[in-house]
């Protein structure tokens, strides 16, 4: 299970990084407040890759970059949200499978 204070931790992501972080979360298809979904391995990879690409593009095109401290604050907030998924001592687990079947309609 994601951190009980996940909403506040997400709000703590520095403004410089938050736009790209939010784009990364949106790329997963997870809801903006579905913090457990943010933590699943594949989604974590999507958030990080998309955010890194966004930050890199912003730096190249606009010559704007975030400080190392801002990046660290974002990483720390994201880690705290997902700690129970990512650490060996964590108790959260990803769903084994996701249902892709269409429910049958009743006659």
Which residues fall in the annotated binding site?
A: 34
Question: How many helices, marked H, and strands, marked E, lie in the chain?
Answer: 5, 0
- φ, ψ of residue 49 to 5 degrees: the values are -65, -45
Task: Detail the residues annotated as belonging to a binding site for heme.
Answer: 34
Other beta carbons less than 10 A from residue 31's beta carbon: 11
**In the chain, where does DSSP find H-type helix?**
6-11, 15-28, 35-39, 41-62, 68-86
């Amino acid at each position: 299970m994601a951190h009980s204070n996940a909403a506040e931790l997400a709000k703590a992501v520095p403004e410089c990084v938050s736009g790209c972080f939010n784009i990364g979360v949106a790329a997963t298809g997870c809801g903006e407040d579905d913090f457990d979904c943010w933590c699943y391995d594949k989604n974590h990879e999507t958030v990080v890759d998309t955010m890194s690409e966004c930050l890199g593009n912003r730096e190249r095109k606009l010559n704007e970059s975030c400080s190392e401290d801002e990046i660290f604050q974002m990483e720390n907030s994201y880690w705290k949200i997902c700690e129970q998924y990512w650490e060996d001592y964590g108790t959260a687990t990803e769903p084994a499978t996701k249902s892709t079947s269409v429910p049958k309609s009743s006659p």
